[in-house]
């Protein structure tokens, strides 16, 4: 974790205030004055301000049912950030573990634990994300095997990682992927001559939306949090 972020998690200071504190030379890490806010620190480090040991607050893990016309960002850009929907202290210090487009609804995981979110985002961990997809044209059964092998996306070298395509009806499917390329689901169906007209994420790993209403959120339980620590 960055030192300035650790200070924010241990005090009521904002990120800018933490940087000013560091610049003043009042912060020590294991007895050494540190002024660089980007310095990486760990739980076993002793971090003090004017001799007082800091203790970071516990990390937060949240699931939210994202509505349309909100963005997975810490700032408003054309559409409002979905972090406005979360009634917690310092909500904008959190980050989204696996973003969705403004026109996409569904499951979003939000945290301030960077190592935990890395397990969700990085393709090497092969964390499965399940999407319900509405298509403009009927989908053929033959594409089940195509998606299983991998699809060639425009502008990309090589194929996508193997994906699971389950056909619900001629224009509705479930797609399970383990990557998070830019507009990946939309581009995968475009590559086979179809177009996504509705997109909704139902599941990440073992965590499902279940009965969580549109726009609502809750904290993950311990079992759900631990399911991503692999």
Residues 6 or more apart whose Cβ sits within 8 Å of residue 71: 77, 78, 79, 80, 81, 82, 102
Residues 6 or more apart whose Cβ sits within 8 Å of residue 187: 153, 154, 181
* CA distance linking residue 72 with residue 155, whole number of Å: 24
Residues 6 or more apart whose Cβ sits within 8 Å of residue 101: 183, 199
Q: Which of 50, 93, 101, 170 is catalytic?
A: 101
Give Cα 195 to chain centroid, integer Å: 25
112 as an active site residue: the answer is no
Catalytic residues: 101
């Amino acid at each position: 974790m960055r030192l300035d972020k650790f200070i924010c998690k241990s005090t009521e200071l904002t990120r800018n205030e933490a940087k000013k504190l560091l610049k003043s030379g009042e912060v020590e890490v294991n007895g050494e004055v540190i002024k660089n806010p980007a310095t990486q620190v760990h739980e076993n480090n002793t971090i003090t301000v004017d001799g007082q040991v800091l203790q970071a607050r516990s990390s937060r893990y949240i699931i939210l049912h994202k509505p349309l016309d909100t963005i997975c960002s810490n700032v408003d850009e054309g559409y409002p950030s979905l972090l406005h929907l979360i009634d917690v202290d310092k909500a904008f210090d959190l980050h989204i573990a696996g973003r969705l487009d403004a026109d996409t609804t569904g499951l979003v995981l939000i945290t301030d634990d960077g190592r935990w979110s890395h397990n969700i985002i990085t393709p090497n961990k092969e964390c499965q994300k399940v999407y319900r997809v509405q298509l403009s044209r009927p989908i053929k059964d033959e594409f089940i095997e195509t998606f299983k092998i991998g699809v060639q996306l425009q502008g990309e070298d090589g194929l996508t990682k193997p994906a699971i395509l389950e056909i619900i009806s001629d224009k509705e499917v479930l797609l399970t992927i383990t990557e998070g390329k830019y507009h990946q689901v939309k581009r995968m169906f475009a590559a086979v001559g179809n177009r996504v007209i509705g997109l909704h994420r139902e599941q990440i790993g073992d965590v499902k939306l279940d009965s969580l209403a549109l726009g609502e959120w809750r904290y993950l339980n311990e079992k759900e949090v631990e399911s991503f620590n692999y």
